[in-house]
Amino acid sequence: MEKVDILAVGGHAGDAEISAGMALCHHVRQGKRVAMLHCTLGERGHPTLSPAEYAERKREEAQKAAAVIGAEVFFLPYMDGELPVNDEVKFAICDTIRECRPDFILTHWRGSMHKDHTNTCLCFPDAIFYAALKTIERPLPSHWPKQLLYAENWEDPYGFVPELYLEIDQKDLKLWEEMATQYGLFRAEWKTFHYVEYYKALAKVRGLEVSTEFATAFAVPENSRRRKLTTLL
Ligand SMILES: [Zn+2]
C-alpha cells in the first residue's frame, strides 16, 4: 500500500479519532495521508447491545470515520479490556508500521484509567524498534518512523504534560467533528461523557495557552527531549 505520513494507534476503536483526530484532520487538509490502528474494538461499552453486536457496529463506525478523512484503517484481533503487553501485540503493531510506513506515530499516554490505553502505550517503543530493525525478519521490509508522540485523551490524564502544541483551525475542527460523530458513542446516543463538547473546549484551551485560536497538544517521550544546539542565542 501507499505510504502514509501519520499513523494513530488507539486502544479502542474511537480513541485514535477522538484524541489524535484533530491532528489527523489538520494534516489531511494539507494533503497528507494518514492511517489508524485500533488494538481492540471497544465492544464492551454499550448499554444494551451485546459485545458481539457492538463489535460489528464499531467496526462499521470505524470504517465510516476513516472514510471521512480518507484514512487507511487497521484492526488488531484483541477483546476489549484484554489487550496484553507482549511480543505478539508489539509485532502486530510492528507489521502495521511496516505496511503503512508512517513518519509520525500518535498513541496514548500511559497514565490512564483504561488498561487497554496503558497497554497500547506500553507496547511502544518496542513496536517501533521491531519495525525499524532490518535484522528482524517479518513479511515486510523494515521502516523507522521519525517520531512518537502521545495524544491528549481525557481518560489518560495522570502525569500527562502537554509539551508540543499543534495549531489547528475551524475547518480542521469541523472535519474532526464529522469524523468523530460517525460513532454513536460520540453522538451521545446514550448517557455518556460529552466527548465532542469536551474536546472542542480543550482545543480552545490549548489554543489560548499558546496564543492562538485552537490547538491540539501532545506529550513527548523522554528519549525525544534531547536537542542539539550550536548556540543558546
Ligand atoms: Zn478507549
Output the pLDDT for position 28. 98
pLDDT at 227: 86
Residues 134-186: tens digit of each pLDDT: 999 999 999 999 999 999 999 999 999 999 999 999 999 999 999 999 999 99
pLDDT of residue 110: 98
How many whole angstroms from 177 Cα to the centroid of ligand 1? 18
The Å distance, Cα 117 to ligand 1 centre, comes to 6
Write the single-letter amino acid at 192.
Answer: T
Mean pLDDT of all residues belonging to the chain: 97
Calculate how far, in angstroms, residue 114's C-alpha sits from the geometric centre of ligand 1.
7
pLDDT of residue 211: 98
When pLDDT is cut at 50, 70 and 90, the band that residue 192 belongs to is confident
- Residue 101's pLDDT is 98
Distance 98 CA to ligand 1 centre (A): 24
Q: Mean pLDDT, to the nearest integer, of 57-76?
A: 98
115 Cα–ligand 1 center, Å: 9
Which pLDDT band holds residue 35 (cuts at 50, 70, 90)? very high
